[in-house]
Structure 1
Amino acid sequence: MAAQKQDNWSSEAYQNSASFVPKLATKVMQWLDPQKDDVILDLGCGGTLSSPRYSTQQSTYHHPDGVLDLQIGQVLSQGSGTLHGIDGSPAMIEASKKATAETGLQGKCTFEVLDATELLSHPSLPNGTFTKVFSNAAMHWILRPPARRETFFRGVRDALAPGGRFVFEMGGLGNVCEVRAALLSAIGRRIGLAKTLEVEPWFFPDEKWAREMVEVTVGGMEVERVEREWRPTDADTGGIEGWVRLMAKQFFEALPEGEREGCIREVVDVLEVVCAKPGGGYMFSYVRLRAVVRKV
């Protein structure tokens, strides 16, 4: 029997330290432009999850307590469209299912635990059936293993119907550079930089990389629109420490257990100086890469 993959996510911790992720998705949602008859596949749907509180009367894409998939579901409920969300985290899938049940959208939004790099071989996702594939704040995790990047994009291409569009937003080159520097320095001093880079869970590419992967390496798709935006983002209620403990958990797991808390404290102390805002609070230097890709 294969060993069960560790789930590094908690929906409660996400609400405390990263609820701003779906709240800042206004632009990529505008690019997605969901229509009532769309058949949508959401990759890494945990990245669209915000607070479980949701008003079914709310239809705008920037509702402060919204869940993006449920907002999309409200549009789909006006027609024949459906949304299927996948995520590698069982905890995030359960939270998504619960939020959907509370709003009566089970018939429009379904969810399952699935690695997004396994689209090519998954029988429940028939090829060529989705008018749109969507991903928000997930691909910088999904694409971390270099060997799985091409497979991921081939799966997206094959899932799309002819003329269908893949709309995504992810961390781009330069994302949270101050956090990466603090982590690589503190952990690298303990286990070496090379080993630290091996356990780093993120991949932050630029526009050129995305275009070459889609149009040249994989083919059958073309980039209609792509941009990279610096978007300074205030820390959530969990502050610097909450973000570091949640998002950088895999870094610290490479250390002996007895050294982890001291290293976390070192990283947090540095970042609370570097990221401090003069008027109070903290800011992360988020850089977002977003694109619209069409299957040709």
Structure 2
Amino acid sequence: MLKRTEGVDWDAGHYDKQMDFVAKHGRSVLELLGPVQGESVLDLGCGTGSLSVELAELGADVTGVDLSETMIEQARLKYPGLRFEVGDMRSYRSHRPFDAVFSNAALHWVPQADEAARTVAEALKPGGRLVAEFGGFGNVARIERALAEALAGAGIDPAGRNPWYFPTIGEYSALLERAGLDVRYAERFDRPTPLPEGELGLRHWLHAFAGSYYAGLGGEVQERVTAAVEERLRPELYADGTWSADYSRIRVLAVKPR
């Protein structure tokens, strides 16, 4: 995935420890996929493999792919019996087609969404399905705004630092159809998400996901920006000792025609 290394320095250990809620929320996406014994599944944007192993435990023959080498290294250490590859979601091609493509919290890292959709279409067998969840229109809008305002307040132009792509349902459904997929189900829903680690929760989230906003900044400036983000968001996203992220998600099921 393009932005997983461009401007985002992925800390796989931090991701596993402080951001484990990402995989926990992905379990309901597994239920939508409903893999059956022996199905081949491509886990696109697999991160450190926490959902890949659950797919395998459900009987799927899994291949996990992520652009981040540190994520793939961590996945291989955690689950040496599974197959993991470093690959770019825009251009990844396999020597074999898959019964299903599964993706959780990954597609919003690829602004070149048409290219990712073609990768999915190429990966699927006729009759195969895509099941995915990712950030939709309005996802972390308050955090985005606070980051841009905090950077501007520190004399830094925020233009070009946002790494995310958050489409509407209509936009993404049309994109999948252009790639030759038949959209069977699409839903957008708000899911305010509590962040672990209490007072440090937002800082951990920013460390994990907003690295491109901090690229090239010295430590003192980074701290000033983070403190400004916290100050702006505290009235909206902090309550009873816990930070929340203003998540809005898209969940989609699409099929490649036979």
TM > 0.5? yes
Residue in 1 that maps onto 2:107? 139
Q: 1:38-187 alignment to 2 at 5 Å?
A: 38-46=39-47, 49=49, 67-76=50-59, 81-101=60-80, 106=81, 109-119=82-92, 122=93, 125-126=94-95, 129-141=97-109, 143-144=110-111, 148-187=112-151
Q: Aligned AA for 1:288?
A: R
How many equivalent pairs are there? 249
Q: Give distance in 2, aligned partners of 1:24 and 1:293.
A: 20
CA contact (8 A) 1:126 1:159 kept: no
Q: Give distance in 2, aligned partners of 1:98 and 1:156.
A: 27
CA positional deviation for 1:256: 5.6
State percent identity of aligned pairs: 31
Residue in 2 that maps onto 1:53? none
Q: Give distance in 1, aligned partners of 2:43 and 2:55.
A: 11
Residue among 224, 243, 248 paired with 1:282: 243
1:213 is paired with a residue whose SS is: helix
Residue in 2 that maps onto 1:224? 184
Residue 240 (structure 1) aligned with residue 202 (structure 2): yes
Q: Give the TM-score of the pair, scaled to structure 2.
A: 0.90
CA positional deviation for 1:248: 0.9
Q: Aligned AA for 2:72?
A: I
Q: Aligned AA for 1:282?
A: W
Q: Give distance in 1, aligned partners of 2:17 and 2:78.
A: 17
CA contact (8 A) 1:38 1:82 kept: yes
Q: Aligned AA for 1:171?
A: G
CA positional deviation for 1:228: 0.6
Q: Give distance in 1, aligned partners of 2:204 and 2:245.
A: 13
Q: Aligned AA for 2:131?
A: V
Q: Aligned AA for 1:39?
A: S
Q: Aligned AA for 1:261?
A: E
CA contact (8 A) 1:44 1:136 kept: yes
Gaps of 5+ in 2: none
Q: Aligned AA for 1:21?
A: V
Q: Give distance in 2, aligned partners of 1:244 and 1:269.
A: 14
Q: Give the TM-score of the pair, scaled to structure 1.
A: 0.79
Residue among 168, 171, 193 paired with 1:209: 171
Q: Give distance in 1, aligned partners of 2:216 and 2:146.
A: 16
Gaps of 5+ in 1: 50-66
CA positional deviation for 1:126: 2.3
Q: Give distance in 2, aligned partners of 1:99 and 1:259.
A: 35
Residue among 156, 178, 182 paired with 1:191: 156
Q: Give distance in 1, aligned partners of 2:12 and 2:78.
A: 11
CA positional deviation for 1:197: 3.6
- Report the RMSD for the aligned CA atoms in angstroms: 1.9
